[in-house]
Amino acid sequence: MAKEGIVVPVIDLANFPAELEKLAAASTEVGCFQVINHGIPVALLAEMKETARSLFELPEEVKRRNVNPNVIDGRYRPRNFEPNGKYHESFSIYDAALPSDVLSFCSALDVSPQQRKVITEYFGKLYGLMLVMASKVVESLGLVGRSFEEWSCQARVMSYKFTSQEDIGCIAAPLHTDSSFLTILHADECVGGLQIIDANGNFIDVDPLPGAIFVNIGDMGKVWSNGRLYTVKHRVVCKEVTTRFSIGLFLLAPKDGNIGTELAFIDAEHPKLYQNFIYNEYRKQRNKCEYKISDLALRVFKRRIYVVPVIDLANLPAELEKLAAASTELGCFGVSNHDMPMSLLAKMKEAARSLFEIPADVKLRNVIHNLEDGGYRPPTFSPKSPFYESLGIYDAASPADVHSFCSTLDASPQQWFRDTVKGTMQFLASAPPAGDCLVVNGGVLRPGRADIRWMNNRRTVLAWGRPPFILNIEGKRLSQNSNLDGFRRMSVVLVFQHTQTLVFGKLLGADTGRFSRPVYERFLTVLQEDECVGGLEIMDANGNFIDMDPLPGTLFVNIGDIGKVLIKSYF
């Protein structure tokens, strides 16, 4: 049973900016509100309701002329269109932001000139209200002057026909969240039935306030705001034996369909929760879910984020315990205060970029017999990793090796370039976090192989290190996501080699069991991540992949067998 007495917040549009705080609370805590003083004449609302009533009286074959090829489910829905839609019938307009689309809706249904006037005026005004409400909601979160004019907007004109006493209490629209960014609902002010669910799982009746417009946040609002906006679950139940009308306007997504999180909502405390995706892909995913609610449908697009522990090199030995935990439990960590100048890191990235632009025949001159892939690994090296290209130096601790690397590839590189490569390599080689604290007991920890890696980030998931080189985990889905094309990911990797047994645990003052075995030739890897293009994932103890967000200014270090460190090619 619905609980009585709890009301949905009411926002007075004539009282801004005073209402901003209330709007912020409504949008982030309740997920919906009713708007008064919205500027849409009451007479127009009533006329549209009458027009809607007459549209549903049109012959079936006329109603079926309502189609919107550009949007999923964007057509006339007869009753029983969905298994639990026995009461529900609806028309759809896409894109209701476009007067031309509204007019073609009218023409397809052959409405009278008077009805056409009402419909066009109504959607013109309702869309205007949508733009105002979307920017106000966003402003309430602190972003001023945001416009949603470039977003698509779907309209749905709905009727629920309840014919018998037995219908009372039945569910006419099952519990769901809207897929939209924002929804404006002109609900039937005479017939209730809309219910929202609160944080405790209680259903609450939304009692229609005469003349008010109901607004709610949808799934795209949650994604765009990185979880700040609250997506309310709602449903419609039958309250009385009559026909209920409602009209919804749904602000869906930018016109190109690309949904991403607004950068202003991403920071170290609020890592990006969802991948970028295409709105229609989301709709398809959502349609597959038993319940169309964001928690289920968005699960696929959720990023598994792990904020890697950061070891502050300026704070050793106090950080040793943290380092021990990171090394023995997680196998990787970030390093801050590493003294590697940011400018050098940035220059190295540029140097790496220009290295990969050198003609292939010159790159192939980088032949190094000690490296298993011969020093230059072209994208064709393995069909399993077509986006991966790398150049290697062996041994990067040796200035002579770095120098010969530069001269081999010296098709055009300038001195600054050579200096940069040399500077980066030497730094990484001489001042690794291992330098002070991972003193090897009886073994030799020696900086060795360096790689400069380049990824043309497309459509697949790569693993580097030992085979398997490729895990095509989500490649299929990503392959539809053409906007991923052309992103290049650059990394510089320094591998510390080791040939003798390490008593690693002892060194860290921890249990020796796990690491008192040979760690093969790859002991420690220092990675300069691409700070603009994510993609590094680790596999946790449960076998789940977790995104490692690049932490600005830190170097990434991982232990030993690097088979668990993966490069995933989306950003």
Ligand X SMILES: O=C(O)CCC(=O)C(=O)O
* Sites of contact with Fe ion (CB under 5 A): 178
d(CA 393, CA 425): 9
Q: Which is nearer to Fe ion, 197 or 335 (CB)?
A: 197
Residue whose beta carbon is closest to ligand X: 246
In whole angstroms, the minimum distance from the beta carbon of 253 to ligand X comes to: 16
d(CA 58, CA 438): 79
In whole angstroms, the minimum distance from the beta carbon of 234 to Fe ion comes to: 6
In whole angstroms, the minimum distance from the beta carbon of 204 to ligand X comes to: 14
Q: How many CB atoms lie within 10 A of CB 32?
A: 21
Q: Which is nearer to ligand X, 87 or 388 (CB)?
A: 87
| Residue 197 interface partner, choices Fe ion, ligand X, none, CB cut-off 5-8 Å depending on type | none
In whole angstroms, the minimum distance from the beta carbon of 218 to Fe ion comes to: 8
In whole angstroms, the minimum distance from the beta carbon of 214 to Fe ion comes to: 10
- Closest to 440 (Cα-Cα) out of 323, 523, 329, 520: 523
DSSP class of residue 483 equals: G
| Residue 236 interface partner, choices ligand X, Fe ion, none, CB cut-off 5-8 Å depending on type | ligand X
| Residue 522 interface partner, choices ligand X, Fe ion, none, CB cut-off 5-8 Å depending on type | none
Q: How many CB atoms lie within 10 A of CB 570?
A: 23
d(CA 460, CA 489): 13
| Residue 418 interface partner, choices ligand X, Fe ion, none, CB cut-off 5-8 Å depending on type | none
Q: Please give the helix or strand (H or E) that residue 91 lies within, else none.
A: strand 88-94
| Residue 185 interface partner, choices ligand X, Fe ion, none, CB cut-off 5-8 Å depending on type | ligand X
d(CA 173, CA 161): 12
- Sort 63 into a burial class: Cβ within 10 Å, 0-12 / 13-18 / 19+: buried
In whole angstroms, the minimum distance from the beta carbon of 197 to Fe ion comes to: 12
Q: Which is nearer to ligand X, 272 or 286 (CB)?
A: 286
Q: Which is nearer to ligand X, 178 or 319 (CB)?
A: 178
In the chain, the amino acid numbered 496 is F
- Closest to 35 (Cα-Cα) out of 63, 64, 14: 14
d(CA 382, CA 380): 5
Tokens of 169: 């209490």
Helices (H), ranges, 60-154: 60-63, 99-108, 113-140
Q: Which is nearer to ligand X, 246 or 327 (CB)?
A: 246
Tokens of 542: 């449960």
Q: CB–CB of 87/161 below 8 Å?
A: yes
Q: What is the DSSP string of 275-316?
A: --EEHHHHHHHHHHSSS--HHHHGGGGB--EE---EEEGGGT
In whole angstroms, the minimum distance from the beta carbon of 91 to Fe ion comes to: 16
In whole angstroms, the minimum distance from the beta carbon of 156 to ligand X comes to: 6
Q: Which residues would be at the binding site for ligand X (CB under 6 A)? A: 156, 158, 173, 178, 185, 187, 194, 234, 236, 246, 248
b/e per residue 421-441 (b: at least 16 CB within 10 A): bbbbbbbbbebbbbeebbebe
Q: Which is nearer to ligand X, 173 or 557 (CB)?
A: 173
Q: Which is nearer to Fe ion, 9 or 271 (CB)?
A: 9
Q: Which is nearer to Fe ion, 178 or 401 (CB)?
A: 178
| Residue 463 interface partner, choices Fe ion, ligand X, none, CB cut-off 5-8 Å depending on type | none
In whole angstroms, the minimum distance from the beta carbon of 226 to Fe ion comes to: 22
| Residue 156 interface partner, choices ligand X, Fe ion, none, CB cut-off 5-8 Å depending on type | ligand X
Residues with Cβ within 8 Å of 483's Cβ and at least 6 positions away in sequence, in order, are: 258, 276, 278
- Closest to 434 (Cα-Cα) out of 313, 352, 314: 313
- Closest to 495 (Cα-Cα) out of 535, 460, 448: 448
Q: Which is nearer to ligand X, 66 or 554 (CB)?
A: 66
| Residue 363 interface partner, choices ligand X, Fe ion, none, CB cut-off 5-8 Å depending on type | none
Residue whose beta carbon is closest to Fe ion: 178
Q: Which is nearer to ligand X, 93 or 158 (CB)?
A: 158
| Residue 55 interface partner, choices ligand X, Fe ion, none, CB cut-off 5-8 Å depending on type | none
Helices (H), ranges, 56-112: 60-63, 99-108
In the chain, the amino acid numbered 177 is T
Q: Which is nearer to Fe ion, 180 or 481 (CB)?
A: 180
| Residue 194 interface partner, choices ligand X, Fe ion, none, CB cut-off 5-8 Å depending on type | ligand X
Residues with Cβ within 8 Å of 20's Cβ and at least 6 positions away in sequence, in order, are: 136, 139, 140
In whole angstroms, the minimum distance from the beta carbon of 143 to Fe ion comes to: 25
In whole angstroms, the minimum distance from the beta carbon of 53 to Fe ion comes to: 21
Q: Which is nearer to ligand X, 10 or 364 (CB)?
A: 10
Give the C-alpha distances (Å, rounded to integers) separating 219 from 90, 126, 229, 353, 556: 21, 21, 9, 38, 34
| Residue 222 interface partner, choices Fe ion, ligand X, none, CB cut-off 5-8 Å depending on type | none
| Residue 474 interface partner, choices Fe ion, ligand X, none, CB cut-off 5-8 Å depending on type | none
In whole angstroms, the minimum distance from the beta carbon of 47 to Fe ion comes to: 24
